[in-house]
Amino acid sequence: MFKKISSSLSIKVFLYIGSLLLATSLIIYSVIMVVMPKSYKSELSGQFSKNLGELLTQLEKSKYEEASGYIYNFCVVNHASVTLESKTIKENYGAFREYGLTDSKDSKMMISAFTTFQFKDSNETYSLRVSVSEQPVNQITALLLKMLPWIVALILIISFIGAWFCSRFLTKPIIKISSISKKMSTLEMNWRCDIQRPDEIGVLASSLNSMAHNLETALTELKSANEKLQMDIDRERRQEKQRRDFFAAVSHELKTPITIIKGQLEGMIHNVGIYKDRDQYLRQSLKTAESMEHLVKEILTTAKLEAEGFQLKLMEVDLSSIIIDCCQQIAGLALDKNIQISTELEGEMVILADKRLLHRAISNIINNAVFHSPGGAGVWVDLFLRNGRGILTVENGNISFEDEDIERIFTPFYRVEQSHNRNSGGSGLGLYITKTIFDLHKIGYRIENSDRGVKFSAEFSVI
């Protein structure tokens, strides 16, 4: 029970306020019981002295026969008992019988006064003994004591009801703020404290709302920053893996031609078997060296494009003229393979790009289309405007790629042919260089199978 009380603000406030109201009410009632009779007695004594003075004045100005009326009125007004006495008479007036008292009985319960005077028509001295009973004062005290249980019960009821209302009024907003603070501790910020008050609790509620808004903003920014950081980390990991794979592939690609050249040279040096015909194998070694040179140049180009701080030399370039030039360069190979290159270009189309790199990228695409198309197939190169953007498509017929090949087509040293034969698959860096150049220019691109074969698409910003 004590644990429940100590953990509940409402119960503690209820008990504090209830106890305070009860104690205050009891103290006030006790003060009334003590002070009220004394105050009443003091008032009674003062009024008695004043009225007695007025009575003496009236008696001294009146005759003996008129005295009875004045004394009687005095007794009625003051609830007093009066004894008028001289050498020859003794007369009693007032409330002795009413309270069952005499002038000599219960003197502690009476206010008494004694004085002498003379009537105006007589020289005889009269004594006047006046007594006022304290019985009304004692009756008030007795009544207050008699009502004490009922008063205490009423005080308890009022105290508890008042304490309940006060505790509800005072603790309700605090309990609400407490529940909100628990939500804040779990970083749950989808709430607002709707307490509208001009006091400190209202200020606290407003401050909580402001803090929640600031925390929500900070958490959103932190979450966004963490997501961006995670994306950067993932990208860095992918790049690191690509670098490792790239160097592994470079090592593999260079190892084969080096081994070939080394074997041919050793055979020629030792005049072993077929290598006695040095002229033939020197030409083959030269061809292999030229292939290695081409591969090394491709590797250096890739490294240059991926180097940190590499800047494009941007200028206004006519995309149509670059495409025409690339088609002319590959025309000889296309003629040898009996491949018809069909172009449909929508006039001059100017873009902002690095002319040398863009020429190489488009050349790689068209060369690959011709190189990988079977003899007698067709290659279609189209350039047109769509929604204000230049669209380049290069499509080669009578061929298709597997989905796995399309996903990996831009990977360094990846060849569609499973044998990785350089005679049919190239160096494996051409499309990767094209991808890098397009990425630097922020040009969108994709490769997909089409009805006629395989289609490459790129989208350019036209100026």
pLDDT at 380: 96
Main-chain dihedrals φ then ψ at residue 82, nearest 5 degrees? -125, 135
Reported as a pLDDT band with limits 50, 70 and 90, residue 219 is confident
Whole-number Cα distances in Å, 198 to 166, 173, 177, 178, 203 = 18, 13, 16, 19, 7
139, amino acid identity:
Q
User: Which of the residue ranges 58-67, 104-113, 334-343 has the most confident prediction, judged by mean pLDDT?
Assistant: 334-343
pLDDT at 174: 72
**Which residues of the chain are in CATH 3.30.565.10 domains?**
312-461
Closest listed residue to residue 61, CA positions, set 136, 119, 140? 119
What would the pLDDT profile of 82-105 be if each residue is shown by its tens digit?
899 988 888 988 765 444 444 444
Reported as a pLDDT band with limits 50, 70 and 90, residue 426 is low
pLDDT at 364: 92
- For residues 212-229, give the mean pLDDT: 84
The fraction of the chain above a pLDDT of 90, given in percent, is 24
2-158: in CATH 3.30.70: no
pLDDT at 359: 94
pLDDT at 315: 95
Integer Cα distance of 404 and 402 in angstroms? 5
Reported as a pLDDT band with limits 50, 70 and 90, residue 350 is very high
312-461: in CATH 1.20.1250.20: no
pLDDT above 90 for 366: yes
**Which residues of the chain are in CATH 3.30.450 domains?**
2-158
pTM metric for this prediction: 0.48
Q: Long-range contacts for 435-443 (Cβ within 8 Å, ≥24 apart)?
A: 435/410, 436/302, 436/305, 436/306, 437/305, 437/354, 437/357, 437/358, 437/360, 437/361, 438/361, 440/305, 440/310, 440/312, 440/354, 440/357, 441/312, 441/353, 441/354, 441/357, 441/358
What would the pLDDT profile of 2-52 be if each residue is shown by its tens digit?
665 555 666 777 777 777 777 887 888 788 878 877 887 788 888 888 988
Whole-number Cα distances in Å, 113 to 21, 82, 135, 217, 261 = 45, 10, 17, 89, 151
Task: Please state, as a whole number, how many other Cβ atoms lie within 10 Å of the Cβ of residue 110.
Answer: 20
